[in-house]
Amino acid sequence: MTKGYLILNTGDVLEGTWIGSETYTEGEVVFNTSMTGYQEMITDPSYAGQIVTLCYPLVGNYGMNSWDNESKQPACKGVIVGEACEAPSNGKMETGFSDQLLKWDIPGLANVNTRKLVSLIRKHQTLKGKITTDPHATPEFPTPLYAPGQLVEQVAVKKPVSYLGKGKHVVLLDFGYKASILKDLLKQNLRVTVVPYHTSTMEIAAMKPDGILISNGPGDPEDHVMHFPKIKELTDQYPVLGICLGHQLIAMSYGAASKKMAYGHRGGNHPILDHETGKVWITSQNHGYDIDPSSCKDSELHVRFTNINDGGIEGFYHPEKPVLSVQFHPEARPGPVDTAYIFDEFIEAMLCTGGKTSCQMQKA
């Protein structure tokens, strides 16, 4: 089998066996600690532009199928694994891990020392890498790797897409939404219209929504400063829920600032505290930026959730408007569904307000 190499901007070179598409690629190198859910991780649009390292030592043992994808076409640049199972066994599987990477035209490396790689990421924090067959290559990585907003433009819908339902109407402002978010809304019999992230408030108003959901997505939230006034206006007009990048954009539209994390939160076992109930929940997370707490001291938004491990902000609420944001993923997949009640609170806000902000959101 073909040997491949991951060459890092630190000069470190890790050897592996080539899997998937035999094309060279480069991107930011990140890692996810989840034990299951490799298909959902690879197809998560938030990984656009990144080479994803899967920490669990065996990947691919239950194969791949067509209904667990979080997007129609994965946007990650490559995949690094310790061992890729070439003889999967699962009644639902349709193809193997390596074969599916090839179909998606995504390159990858197996038999890589992922423990060493994760240690390097933790040591050097943000790392850039290139997957190649030449161990002596000296790649030059541009700074930044991608133009502002390029990754969101790549993964977001190009025109509105409607999904029928008999309940309240939700406009999903798409910065790179996961399919599981849409599925959870449709399970509640909501009517959903997915619109591009650059859709204007006038166009949204013409759709007569009862609530707005601002999605997750890839890249630096600061790239979307031009959308902050629109997002602030939406929170003045409708019940709003923000997830991951959507959470950051809501906070920044109220004056907060974001910061690049050392190596992000990516995994399915992140504990967060809900200050409203005093309960701790285990959450699924995937983000490389978060909100700087020092920038929120005079914000209209109040902290609702914090991270147990590092004390970071995991969510806000507005005391007088039906506005809620969460840094974690309540839809999970992969990961625990402890915080699925976030969708219930969003629906309750729409029912309480009738799609307006004149009524203060009733706490559950």
Residue 363's pLDDT band, with cuts at 50, 70 and 90, is very low
245 is in an annotated binding site: yes
Q: Which of 224, 247, 265, 329 is catalytic?
A: 329
Answer yes or no: 348 catalytic.
no
Inside any domain, residue 254: yes
pLDDT at 356: 66
62 is in an annotated binding site: no
217 is in an annotated binding site: yes
Q: How many CB atoms lie within 10 A of CB 358?
A: 8
Inside any domain, residue 226: yes
- Reply yes or no on whether the pLDDT at 361 is more than 50: no
Same domain flag for 158 and 127: no
Inside any domain, residue 83: yes
CATH number, domain of 182, equals 3.40.50.880
Inside any domain, residue 265: yes
Q: What average pLDDT does range 298-312 have in this prediction?
A: 97
- Reply yes or no on whether the pLDDT at 13 is more than 50: yes
Inside any domain, residue 68: yes
Q: How far apart are CA 220 and CA 320, in angstroms?
A: 29
Same domain flag for 100 and 156: no
Calculate ∠ Cα 148-238-235, nearest 5°.
45
Same domain flag for 117 and 198: no
Same domain flag for 189 and 326: yes
Residue 355's pLDDT band, with cuts at 50, 70 and 90, is low
- Residues 269-303 have pLDDT tens digits of 999 999 999 999 999 999 999 999 999 989 999 99
197 is in an annotated binding site: no
Q: Identify which of 259, 252, 218, 233 has the alpha carbon closest to the alpha carbon of residue 325.
A: 252
Same domain flag for 159 and 59: no
Q: How far apart are CA 30 and CA 129, in angstroms?
A: 10
289 is in an annotated binding site: yes
Q: How far apart are CA 167 and CA 180, in angstroms?
A: 18
Same domain flag for 126 and 162: no
Q: How far apart are CA 253 and CA 171, in angstroms?
A: 19
Q: What average pLDDT does range 31-53 have in this prediction?
A: 97
219 is in an annotated binding site: yes
- Reply yes or no on whether the pLDDT at 358 is more than 50: no
- Residues 226-263 have pLDDT tens digits of 999 999 999 999 999 999 999 999 999 999 999 999 99
What is the residue-averaged pLDDT of the chain? Answer: 95
Inside any domain, residue 45: yes
- Residues 29-40 have pLDDT tens digits of 999 999 999 999
Q: Which of 244, 265, 287, 296 is catalytic?
A: 244
Inside any domain, residue 139: no
Same domain flag for 305 and 156: yes
Answer yes or no: 296 catalytic.
no
Same domain flag for 186 and 93: no
pLDDT at 354: 73
- Reply yes or no on whether the pLDDT at 128 is more than 90: yes
pLDDT at 171: 98
Q: E-strand spans in the chain?
A: 3-8, 13-20, 25-32, 50-54, 58-59, 78-80, 83-84, 107-110, 127-132, 161-163, 169-174, 191-196, 211-214, 240-243, 258-274, 279-291, 302-307, 313-317, 323-326
Q: Which of 28, 70, 153, 331 is catalytic?
A: 331
82 is in an annotated binding site: no
310: Cβ contacts below 8 Å, ≥ 6 apart: none
Q: Give the torsion through C-alpha atoms of 24, 30, 34, 35, to 10 deg.
A: 40
Q: How far apart are CA 229 and CA 240, in angstroms?
A: 14
Domain span including residue 220? 151-353
248 is in an annotated binding site: yes
Task: Using a pLDDT cut of 90, give the percent of the chain over it.
Answer: 95
Whole-structure pTM value: 0.95
> Residues 275, 305: contact at Cβ < 8 Å?
yes
CATH number, domain of 44, equals 3.50.30.20
Same domain flag for 111 and 253: no
Inside any domain, residue 50: yes
- Reply yes or no on whether the pLDDT at 122 is more than 80: yes
Q: H helices within the chain, ranges in order?
A: 38-42, 97-103, 114-124, 150-155, 179-187, 201-206, 228-237, 245-253, 341-353
Q: Which two tokens stand for residue 333?
A: 């997949």
Task: Using a pLDDT cut of 70, give the percent of the chain over it.
Answer: 97
- Residues 72-90 have pLDDT tens digits of 999 999 999 999 999 999 9
Decide which of 104, 132, 160 is a domain's last residue. Answer: 132
Decide which of 76, 103, 132 is a domain's last residue. Answer: 132
pLDDT at 353: 83
Same domain flag for 125 and 166: no
Q: Among 60-69, 257-266, 347-356, where is mean pLDDT lowest? A: 347-356
Same domain flag for 61 and 164: no
Same domain flag for 54 and 179: no
- Reply yes or no on whether the pLDDT at 205 is more than 70: yes
Answer yes or no: 244 catalytic.
yes
Per the structure, the count of domains in the chain is 2
